[in-house]
């Protein structure tokens, strides 16, 4: 550990002490392959946490695509290049019409920035609805609507934050929970309209990942969307976490609810770690924005990023990762339900597909399990309003054997916690 300590000191002296690392003792990594990460300590860790390496750490097809294109040409979109068009076509094929246009960017933050610019300009309104425990990026416009992380900017006067209902944590009948949540949304919309901000956008993650994967009442999202549209607002699905087949059943999280957002934002898994994001929208919205704004993004849409994105989509197809995710995710649910019955401190099984977790009675327990699992060679994390939900969100190449290993270690960890 002494070399890790020395490296941490050098990191503090360059990136500063507030550039956070996971775990009580930072984990230094040296290599990765598939769902495995090798530590500087020589240990191979099962990665059950990271969603960015979507088709596996150092996926050879993606690595080759990046290496080949980087050696051939990397240029911006002011010149014409075939690969960016090819990628745009392949990506848009995964969306239902009228989501037929894409603007490529470099990150989820850039995607949400652009989506909100488009929404504000189109509606002539500034108001934004978000959930009251959410995060959509690190720019100023996104900081003023950040409710889940500490930011010094106060919540914007044009922002209203909704408490997303969670049937797992609410003993009342579903209809009562739904009615109350929709009444709150209606009040938020009314407040935005009355204050003169109006509603430009409802920006949400269809899985409510940061919120801790709440089990929302049937009809909740549809109801909020109806209120937002009635006020002239647009629907922006932030698929940075819920997209690219993560749920197993659908390519995009918003499809779980039969929603047709006007804007969809993409990030994290899109380039398997290569910086890549996008806004997918309708021809009308992109044309309107493009006619009124000279929007250029130097790095976005370069052929290397496009080649990385294209390789991710092809690997998803070739390895049938969405179908695999559904199967492994379903079995995960069964195994987690079993664990839940064995420990009274587990209050719920959360999530869908390869984004799941166990809710505990208190944050001290999730913290101990996350640290303990690291010692057992498995990387997971925790999430939610009170940090009470174990967060398991592996690369989609996570197979049955990996799940068995995860479940065994998690069972042992929970037993140890029970015995402690």
Residues 6+ apart with CB under 8 A from 224: 129, 162, 182, 185, 202, 204
Q: Which of 187, 292, 323, 334 binds a second copy (CB under 8 A)?
A: 292
Instruction: Tell me the C-alpha distance between 229 and 232, whole Å.
Output: 5
Instruction: Tell me the C-alpha distance between 15 and 103, whole Å.
Output: 31
Query: By C-alpha distance, which of 255, 280, 256, 253 is closest to 266?
Result: 280
Q: How far is the CB of 287 from a second copy (least distance, A)?
A: 6
Q: How many residues bind a second copy (CB under 8 A)?
A: 104
Q: 309 with 271: CB under 8 angstroms? A: yes
Q: Using the rule CB under 8 A, is 110 a contact of a second copy?
A: yes
Q: Using the rule CB under 8 A, is 345 a contact of a second copy?
A: no
Q: How far is the CB of 37 from a second copy (least distance, A)?
A: 7
Q: How far is the CB of 114 from a second copy (least distance, A)?
A: 7
Q: Using the rule CB under 8 A, is 81 a contact of a second copy?
A: yes
DSSP letter string, 249-264: S-SSGGGGGT---SEE
Query: By C-alpha distance, which of 228, 143, 218, 136 is closest to 188?
Result: 228
**Piece of the chain touching a second copy by CB under 8 A; list 97-105, 242-250, 370-378, 397-405:** 97-105
Q: How far is the CB of 263 from a second copy (least distance, A)?
A: 14
Q: Using the rule CB under 8 A, is 265 a contact of a second copy?
A: no
For a second copy, the binding residues in 7-26 under the rule CB under 8 A are: 7-8, 10-11, 13-22, 26
Q: Which of 152, 171, 344, 419 binds a second copy (CB under 8 A)?
A: 152
Q: Using the rule CB under 8 A, is 78 a contact of a second copy?
A: yes
Residues 6+ apart with CB under 8 A from 261: 99, 234, 235, 236, 237, 254
Instruction: Tell me the C-alpha distance between 16 and 350, whole Å.
Output: 35
E-strand ranges in 303-353 read: 346-352
Q: Using the rule CB under 8 A, is 305 a contact of a second copy?
A: yes
Q: How far is the CB of 105 from a second copy (least distance, A)?
A: 8
Q: Which of 1, 43, 96, 149 binds a second copy (CB under 8 A)?
A: 149
Instruction: Tell me the C-alpha distance between 119 and 121, whole Å.
Output: 6
Q: Which of 41, 61, 76, 223 binds a second copy (CB under 8 A)?
A: 76
For a second copy, the binding residues in 111-140 under the rule CB under 8 A are: 113-114, 116-117, 120-121, 138-140
Q: Which of 35, 48, 84, 237 binds a second copy (CB under 8 A)?
A: 84
């Amino acid at each position: 550990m002494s070399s890790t300590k020395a490296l941490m000191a050098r990191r503090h002296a360059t990136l500063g002490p507030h550039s956070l690392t996971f775990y009580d003792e930072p984990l230094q990594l040296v290599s990765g392959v598939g769902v495995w990460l090798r530590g500087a300590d020589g240990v191979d860790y099962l990665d059950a946490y990271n969603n960015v390496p979507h088709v596996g750490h150092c996926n050879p097809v993606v690595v080759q695509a990046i290496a080949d294109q980087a050696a051939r040409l990397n240029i911006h979109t002011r010149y014409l290049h075939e690969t960016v068009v090819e990628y745009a076509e392949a990506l848009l094929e995964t969306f239902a019409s009228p989501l037929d246009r894409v603007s490529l960017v470099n990150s989820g933050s850039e995607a949400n920035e652009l989506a909100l610019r488009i929404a504000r300009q189109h509606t002539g309104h500034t108001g934004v609805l978000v959930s009251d425990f959410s995060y959509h990026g690190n720019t100023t416009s996104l900081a003023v609507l950040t409710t889940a992380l500490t930011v010094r900017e106060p919540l914007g006067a044009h922002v209203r934050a909704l408490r997303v209902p969670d049937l797992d944590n609410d003993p009342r009948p579903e209809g009562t929970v739904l009615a109350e949540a929709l009444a709150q949304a209606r009040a938020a919309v009314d407040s935005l309209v009355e204050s003169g901000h109006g509603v430009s956008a409802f920006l949400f993650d269809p899985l409510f990942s940061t919120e801790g994967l709440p089990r929302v009442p049937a009809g909740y999202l549809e109801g909020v969307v109806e209120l937002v549209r009635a006020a002239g607002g647009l629907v922006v699905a932030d698929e940075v976490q819920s997209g690219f087949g993560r749920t197993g059943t659908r390519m995009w999280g918003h499809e779980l609810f039969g929603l047709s957002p006007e804007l969809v934002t993409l990030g994290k898994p899109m380039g398997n770690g290569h910086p890549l994001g996008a806004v997918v929208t309708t021809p009308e919205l992109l044309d309107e924005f493009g006619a009124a704004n000279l929007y250029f993004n130097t790095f976005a849409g370069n052929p290397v990023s496009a080649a990385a994105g294209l390789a991710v989509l092809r690997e998803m197809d070739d390895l049938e990762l969405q179908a695999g995710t559904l199967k492994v995710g379903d079995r995960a649910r069964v195994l987690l339900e079993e664990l839940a019955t064995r420990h009274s401190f587990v209050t719920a099984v959360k999530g869908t597909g390869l984004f799941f977790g166990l809710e505990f009675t208190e944050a001290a327990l999730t913290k101990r399990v996350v640290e303990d699992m690291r010692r057992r060679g498995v990387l997971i994390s925790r999430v939610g309003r009170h940090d009470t939900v174990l967060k398991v969100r592996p690369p989609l190449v996570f197979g049955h054997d990996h799940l068995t290993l995860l479940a065994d270690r998690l069972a042992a960890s929970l037993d140890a916690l029970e015995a402690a």
